[in-house]
Chains A and B, each alone.
Chain A
């Protein structure tokens, strides 16, 4: 009897503790999404049900290009970031514990360096009259004459920059899933370093890599402030388009914005499902 009460009171306690979380998820996540979903099926005046917003979004080349650009830059920057981070994070795990801490603190700091301040820092360093741009010009080095921060490659650079610390922070812990004895066992069975990584190391961390890629992709798809500060509305990105449609100076079309936002969400879900599927093919031991 007493045990039962203890059980119930424990459950009550747990429920109580989770309640604020539930409220938050509902109030700040589910409700807005529902609202957006409904809005996206409404005409601009909000009175009639329609598929028109989606048709506009997918037919109008302006928005199509924005979607394509966003997908491209997100995939590309996530890919570059995850490849670089895979190496960096691995080398961090090989450092002495003290140095690991120091490096991680630094990475953590840079991970929070995003948005407008980051864009601004880049403009100061590499912009048209940026510090390095001018310095290198003075020295007669032509490295940056081809480089245009406000272009596609400039945007990729900045995206990679804010993706990289996040990628490192997310990948760092997954290397600890590889037990040292697996490596030792593999070597004693005749495997080279390369063979160990291909046969054991990579498959073991694959779920972590894949999960990290999803997060990076979402991070890039949703990035708005950095992109906006850097390229303004010069460059056609989905998040910038949505922003413009909500707070547009010319004219706001929140219902179209909702439809675009739903498409963005769909792309994230699609990315997650693809990753899940790929992971299951590689790690058949994980159900």
Chain B
């Protein structure tokens, strides 16, 4: 049996269904992410697991215990809030020590454990600072240490890095991953940033409208999206209707379903170069509509037979001088075209 089981949990707010019989299972020691657009119910699910919201149906099992109706403090669930929620009247030390103090443990033991945690999250020297004297990143480390020190059975993190700038965010993602591996703690991480989810998770649950749209390892989700929603949400797939695609490649296809193509698998060349497409791919003509510079990648938006395709090209492989209206050839490998079932 899995370590944490969410079994058909339903949650309504004033009659509006936010979680719709959602089910998922997490193994011990895993770091999974709940990924989904704003308002899809990620925070609500975390709050249900923590007991901060009551569920309207279903069961939650943690470590062989039914915790569905337990009080939050009896669940063995920790939580890191997006707003950190540090106690403003306490120092870093006191914040981190809080949980152990509530357990009535001895001062000497607490001191030793707090020191360990402070070292683990890299906050040495800040013990006596108050939260308002810390940067956002430092506050988030305190929040992490504060909830980890009581060794909860599962730690929930609700968009913990959202308020931080990109650089610190990347760094903390890596650190969190390391800390998680080192401690072996089971963690559920919520984000609406697909890149973040792909970077840190062992497994991803893509959530849409209060249900799991798809779950799997990051690479699986990224390369094999099961639905149009997932394809669009992850990795900026080009999603085309069956008819559109038939018009584009001039070949009838068996299924009438939608198709998804990742921008980076399409090869782009100037007209006439590189000869013809071969058996394994389609070759089509188009015109550049626009180009976006995305750091090491250039994203061309190409129009072909009234379809728009995004094509990612490494920033060094072509002249950036492919301006508006330049005619180009696109080569689409056949086996990179994913048929979507939903």
Contact = CB atoms under 8 A, between A and B. Distances in A.
B88 A184 contact: no
A19 B79 CA distance: 52
A90 to B, nearest CB: 18
Nearest to B156: A188
Contacts of B72: 184, 187-188
Interface string B172-198: 000000000000000000000000000
Contacts of B102: 189-191, 195
Interface stretch (A4-12, A77-85, A199-207, A213-221): A199-207
A188 B76 CA distance: 8
B184 to A, nearest CB: 20
B88 A181 contact: no
Interface string A58-85: 0000000000000000000000000000
Interface residues of B, number: 27
Nearest to B130: A285
A181 B160 CA distance: 14
B85 A184 contact: yes
A174 to B, nearest CB: 14
B79 A185 contact: yes
B50 A285 contact: no
A283 interface: yes
Interface string A134-154: 000000000000000000000
A188 B50 contact: yes
Contact of A186 (B50, B91, B98, B131): B98
B77 A200 contact: no
B73 interface: yes
Bin chain A's interface residue count.
20 to 34
B89 interface: yes
A203 B75 CA distance: 27
A285 B99 contact: no
Interface in B89-114: 89-91, 98-99, 102-103
B318 interface: no
A204 B89 contact: yes
A286 to B, nearest CB: 9
Contacts of A285: 88-91, 130-132
B78 interface: yes
Nearest to B72: A187
B87 interface: yes
B3 interface: no
A192 interface: yes
Given A184-B79, A195-B102, A199-B98, A179 B132 contact: no
Interface in B53-82: 71-73, 75, 77-79, 81
Interface string A224-262: 000000000000000000000000000000000000000
A182 interface: yes
Contacts of A192: 73
A80 B83 CA distance: 37
Given A184-B72, A204-B88, A189 B147 contact: yes
Contacts of B147: 185, 188-189
B146 to A, nearest CB: 7
The 9 lowest CB-CB distance pairs between A and B, nearest first, are A181-B85, A189-B99, A190-B102, A285-B130, A203-B89, A185-B85, A187-B72, A191-B102, A190-B73
Given A184-B50, A190-B99, 5 more contacts: A184-B81, A188-B73, A189-B147, A199-B98, A285-B131
5 contacts: A181-B81, A188-B75, A190-B99, A192-B73, A285-B88
